[in-house]
A = this chain, B = another copy of it.
């Protein structure tokens, strides 16, 4: 085999997590320690090894940041712009990953979805492309949604997550209606709010 028929393939990961205290959806980034784009923020990524599954490569990229523990993983699409990496042509398979929610902001570089701009390589483009896909999975894709919300969540959390993923605040009436018809989701009373009527608690079955 000539070298020409082998290609550098990286897996770049959009890893999301939800912080309950601030009700923010955060994206994992890291600051590049070396050229190219030294000092810039970038999506976590690794070069895919021969025979490695893409999901494994994505998990490896997160482990490298100390951000392992993703409970759901999937593929977005493959980016093939030859000039995307100044070191030479490469392919990038964009993957999504979700870590369970935490009470407080986790360690490491996590940035609100809206503020993830000015990234290295073509990562701004990848984030922009992925955003509507992620928004489309919310409340529809069970694995994605359940990983993002954790085993239970308040209706107010649901509003915050929806707003940050879609870019627009949902109408509460419609969101509660939509949640009510997700088969694996059930109401579990109310939870303590922050003044005002306490929000509903939603819990995943099983």
Chain A residues in contact with chain B, CB under 8 A?
A: 1, 3-9, 47-54, 75, 77-78, 80, 82, 88-89, 91, 93
Contact = CB atoms under 8 A, between A and B. Distances in A.
A49 B9 contact: no
A51 B3 CA distance: 12
Contacts of A53: 80, 82
Given A75-B78, A78-B78, A51 B9 contact: no
A75 B94 CA distance: 13
A5 B5 contact: no
A93 B49 CA distance: 17
Contacts of A4: 49-50
Given A5-B47, A49-B4, A91-B9, A54 B82 contact: no
A54 B82 CA distance: 10
Interface of A is mostly: mixed
A78 B50 contact: no
A150 B1 CA distance: 41
A7 to B, nearest CB: 5
14 contacts: A1-B8, A3-B50, A5-B49, A6-B8, A6-B50, A7-B8, A50-B89, A52-B82, A53-B80, A53-B82, A54-B80, A75-B77, A75-B78, A91-B93
A54 to B, nearest CB: 5
A178 B6 CA distance: 45
Contacts of A3: 6, 50
